Structure 1
Amino acid sequence: MERLVVLFSLFLLTTAKRQDLSGKMFTFPVESNTHHVVLNPEMNKIFFTVTVCLRVFSDISRFQSPFSLSLPSCDNAFSIFKENHVYILNILNEGQNFWGLKDEYNVWNSVCATWDASTGLAQVWVNGIPSSRKGIKAGGSLTGIPKIILGQEQDSYGGHFDAAQSFVGMLTDVHMWDSVLSPDQIAYYSHGGQFTPGNVINWNSLEFSTNGYVVVESKETSHEVGNM
């Protein structure tokens, strides 16, 4: 029993560290309103253009949130949600649904989301296939120090999580840029080619802290090599 308590306590440690996570993934094994990963870009700037890319592996069809960026003035400043096969991009508390993007359960799916404030045009790419482009918050900007959470949706700056919106599954290769990537760069990312790592969030040099029951492990344990 004592050994089990010690092992479980290791899951609950919160320590910020910078690592190269190439070939690794975060596993979120259970639904909760506490378990999450905090990314630490430590960047106070104004974003007028954004691209976020990540890969997810899940069998959950309910609404869930793998990536949530909040600002002091806005809880859903740049958040990616998924429900069934519909992707939702919420920017500055305004959301749009992106339909008809082909993904599958229990395999790796590559997801990228882009936004250009000058036009408001936003787009979601799944496994290299683009959505229709939709307008969200033209003329807006992301201003302030961001708090970026993996595995939960922030209903306040850095917290107030809801278990019914938590991500359950595996997540890897998270990158964020302060630009809109070209279709070629998104294709390289989606299909395992050479691409320029994120200059805001870089999976190959990631500063993060795990909170609660989140496991860092090799992607090889997923036993699935497609769409990587």
Structure 2
Amino acid sequence: MTVKGFGPPNVGLGRKVMVFPYETDFSFVALIPQKEMGLRAFTLCMRVATELEGEQQIILFAYRTTDYDEFNVWREKDGHVAFYLSGDGAFFHLPPITTFRTSLCLTWESRTELAAFWVDGHRSTYQLYKQGHTIRPKGTVLMGQDTDKHLGDLETLQSFVGEVTDLNMWDYVLPRSQIQALHYGHKITKGNIFDWATIEYQLNGNVMVVDDD
């Protein structure tokens, strides 16, 4: 789904990094999925770094349809990392996300309820979350901001500051071997929702795309 009003999408971020240099209430990147996000399972991976510390909530990934926050990933004020599927979240105590890149993956499957984060190739404990749930399609994916309504009500204090690269997403749960291979930079099955090398995206505000040196 192309976000109207922001021009034609750019294509491909291989060996590139998105830089969000400071807090704003207007800077974000809209990501255009390769297929509709009506999901009953997923794997979402990215490499992320931030210098934001302390008691501040930071959005890491936001997907919203017209009436619902379908799927959001946050670093919470207390340092936990959490994700939300249309309601109460699942909270995980993970190693901190710092100025040095963290390889962060999240897996969830509706059938089994199993949800877990993976940090630098290591899995958290499983939590049971949202059995039978389906993420609804026809929404918008944003990096850098959370929306309290469809493409509106952006808040400076929830914005992301830092770097994101190698964001990939699949509509199924990747096995441990592939998640660990991805962490170490090996080639694996390309993401069928988002593939960083061929991803379509639209920039808004002060977001930079630079070589990943």
Q: Give your verdict on TM over 0.5.
A: yes
Structure (1/2) with the larger helix percentage: 1
Larger Rg: 1
From 84, 93, 105, give the equivalent of 1:90: 84
1:174-193 equivalence runs, <5 A? 174-193=167-186
Task: Go from structure 1 to structure 2 and tell me whether the alpha carbon gap of 1:42 and 1:219 turns closer, same or farther (over 3 Å shift).
Answer: closer
Corresponding residue number in structure 1 for 2:12: 20
Residue 167 of structure 1 pairs with residue 150 of structure 2: no
Q: Within 5 Å, which residues of 2 pair with 1:28-67?
A: 28-41=20-33, 43-44=35-36, 46-61=38-53, 62-67=56-61
Label 1:190 to 1:42 Cα distance change in 2 as closer, same or farther (>3 A): closer
Aligned twin of 1:70: 64
Q: Give secondary structure in 1 for the equivalent of 2:179.
A: helix
> Offset of 1:177 from its aligned partner?
0.7
Give the superposed CA RMSD: 1.8
Q: SS at the partner of 2:180?
A: helix
Aligned residues: 206
Percent same amino acid among aligned pairs? 29
CA distance in 2 between counterparts of 1:81 and 1:169 reads 14
What corresponds to 2:115 in structure 1?
A: 122
Please tell me the residue identity of whatever aligns with 1:102.
P
In 1, Cα distance between equivalents of 2:212 and 2:160: 17
Aligned counterparts of 2:62 and 2:139: Cα–Cα separation in 1: 10
Q: 2:131, 2:151 → 1: CA distance? A: 25
State the SS of the aligned residue for 1:144.
coil
Offset at 1:143? 2.0
Structure 1 residues 69 and 45 mapped into 2: Cα distance closer, same or farther (>3 Å)?
closer
User: 1:123 offset after TM fit, Å?
Assistant: 0.8
SS at match of 2:197: helix
Cα shift at 1:41: 1.6
